[in-house]
A = this chain, B = another copy of it.
Amino acid sequence: MRSVVIIGAGNVAFHLTRALIQNTVNVRQVFNRTLSKAQELGEANHINYTDKISEVEKAELYIIAASDSAVEELSHYIPYDDTLVVHTSGSLGTEVLKGDYRKGVFYPFQTFTKRKTLRYEEVPFFVEAENKEDEDALFKLADKISNEVHRVNSEKRRKIHMSGVWASNFVNHMYYIAQSICKEADVPFDVLRPLIEETALKVQDLEPFEAQTGPAKRGDDLIIQKHLELLIDSRQQQLYQLLSDSIKRTYSHD
Contact = CB atoms under 8 A, between A and B. Distances in A.
B199 A193 contact: no
Interface in A200-254: 200-209, 211-218, 220, 223, 226-227, 230-231, 235, 238-240, 242-243, 245-247, 249-250
Contact of A160 (B185, B207, B213): B185
B212 A176 contact: yes
A148 B190 contact: yes
Q: How many copies does the complex hold?
A: 2
A200 B197 contact: yes
Interface string A100-129: 000000000111010010110011100000
Contact of A169 (B91, B175, B214): B214
A172 B208 contact: yes
A150 interface: yes
B178 A111 contact: no
Interface stretch (A24-32, A40-48, A79-87, A151-159): A151-159
Nearest to A175: B208
B212 A169 contact: yes
A171 to B, nearest CB: 5
A130 to B, nearest CB: 20
